[in-house]
């Protein structure tokens, strides 16, 4: 009687994360929630609550250079899609 191997891939399939698109979505939403509750995007918003533009794409004095709210979650989601 042999013991079946339970791999990481098996665990992801059982959790409904068998496709890269599902893993991408979960990684993006999870990272955005963690960053939001950690207070990371504070610099990315104006006083009235609107989002400041990303400086490399929109030049101007109001642009955010390093800490834009959408850059890190989208990067994490893309990495989860391409590398898992």
Model confidence over 27-79: pLDDT tens digits? 999 999 998 888 877 777 788 888 888 777 777 777 777 677 788 899 999 99
**The two structure tokens encoding residue 19:** 């496709």
- pTM for the model: 0.70
At 15 the pLDDT is 84
Distance CA 41, CA 49 (A): 11
- 30 CB burial (10 A radius; 0-12, 13-18, 19+): middle
Residue among 70, 65, 62, 64 nearest 36 (CA)? 70
Distance CA 39, CA 22 (A): 26
């Amino acid at each position: 009687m042999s013991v079946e191997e339970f791999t990481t891939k098996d665990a992801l399939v059982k959790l409904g994360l068998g496709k890269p698109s599902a893993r991408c979505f979960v990684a993006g939403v999870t990272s955005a929630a963690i960053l939001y509750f950690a207070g990371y995007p504070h610099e990315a918003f104006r006083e009235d609550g609107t989002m400041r533009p990303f400086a490399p794409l929109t030049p101007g004095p109001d642009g955010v250079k390093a800490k834009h709210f959408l850059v890190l979650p989208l990067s994490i989601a893309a990495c989860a899609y391409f590398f898992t």
